[in-house]
Copies of this chain bind each other. A is one copy, B any other.
Amino acid sequence: MATIRDVAQRAGVSVATVSRVLNQNGYVNQDTEARVMKVIKELDYRPNTVARSLANRKTGTIALILPTIMNPFFSELSRAVEDSARSRGFTVIFCNSDDLDTREQTYIDVLRQKYIDGIIFASSSLGEEDLAVINENGIPLVVLDRALREGNCSVIRSKNAEGARKAVHHLLATGCRKVAHIAGPQELITAQERLRGYRDVVKDLDWFEESLILPGQFSITGGKGAVQALVEAHPDVDGIFAGNDLMAIGALKALHRMGIKVPEEVSLCGFDGIGATEWTEPELTTVAQLIYEMGARAALHLIDRVQGYTDQVEDLELDVHLIERGSTRRRKY
């Protein structure tokens, strides 16, 4: 591979001049520029990004830390992030954390050493102190789905509580008399907020009791398990609000296996709006987040900060909307 010095020599100029041509800064004579460009073409010269990164401490790379890419929610999110990054000439490094903080720690260490320009954090188990460490290193940070007291860090999240309320109201409106909630792991803010939304609506209804809230790990198996326990404890449940779509899918499977008809006997509503909610039968009613937009906004805002177009941190709450499908349907009594 040709280097900048090869180009300089062949064009009869100094490396500084070539660099100026490359970066379109400083004064360069038109003729000189043309000559340099010609040589660049001839040699098929491409500036070495690593050398560039070393010199100006920018790598054109951002990292996306997420629990696991195998969760469709994060697949879509990361697709958005990569699309947006590419449109701005950035590349993306992926990190599956499995929500393990040791793993997150390790990643952050590695990323720091690699001069990563910025990080999008979609994995929620990292403590505030750790985030502070990143900040100290001056790495711009965008966090998804959590509120932070500390200021120097952008946050983008969905209206989880509001979405949960929408879901439960919808279930009640379609005629449910007793609505249970399959909750995600309470370490995660999203899971907390959705549970809160559920509580907001049902807490004063006479049928409500704590045992209508079951843990489901945000996973398919968790959703299945929750339904089994639920039906045993509350055979009269006729509505389920699952804290995410994967649990809803699991719930649907379990209900089917138990011979309970959806939506005739039990209505079911998920949360997230992943594509797979249209793959089941019946299709799942769900509270859709603007997943792609979330990823795109996160990436574009992060890159804006990296490039110094803005130094303001953002705190965005994205709308959610209910998508009514076959798993909930108005019932007549």
Among A46-101, those with CB < 8 Å from B are 46-51, 53-54, 59, 61, 68-70, 72, 75-76, 78-79, 82-83, 91-96
Chain B residues positioned under 8 Å from A281 (CB to CB): 252-253, 256, 280-281
- Judged by a CB distance under 8 angstroms, whether A109 is at the interface is yes
Docked-complex contact A69 and B69, CB < 8 angstroms: yes
Chain B proximity of A66: nearest CB distance (Å)? 11
Instruction: Please judge, given known A-B contacts A93-B93, A96-B79, whether A115 and B69 are in contact too, CB under 8 Å.
Output: no
Q: Which residues of B contact A280 (CB under 8 A)?
A: 279-281
Contact B114–A49 (Cβ < 8 Å): yes
CB-CB under 8 A for A113 and B47, given A70-B79, A75-B69: yes
In the bound assembly, the distance between CA atoms of A253 and B51 in angstroms comes to 53
Residues of chain B within 8 A (CB-CB) of A68 are 79
CA distance A281 to B262 in the complex (A): 12
- In the complex, which residues of chain B have a beta carbon less than 8 angstroms from the beta carbon of A91? 93, 95, 110, 114
Partner pick for A109 among B46, B69, B79, B110, CB 8 A cutoff: B46
Q: What residues on B are CB-neighbors of A54 within 8 Å?
A: 48, 50-51, 54
Report whether B112 and A46 are in contact in the complex, using a CB–CB cutoff of 8 Å: yes
Chain B residue at minimum C-beta to C-beta distance from A111: B91
Task: Report yes or no: A50 in contact with B96, Cβ–Cβ below 8 A.
Answer: no
Q: List 8 A-B contacts (CB under 8 A).
A: A47-B113, A48-B54, A54-B54, A70-B72, A94-B94, A252-B281, A279-B279, A280-B281
Q: Which chain A residues have a beta carbon within 8 Å of chain B's beta carbons? A: 1, 46-51, 53-54, 59, 61, 68-70, 72, 75-76, 78-79, 82-83, 91-96, 109-110, 112-115, 137, 220, 249, 252-253, 256, 275-276, 278-281
Closest 9 CB pairs of A and B: A49-B113, A49-B114, A50-B54, A50-B53, A46-B113, A281-B281, A50-B115, A70-B75, A75-B75
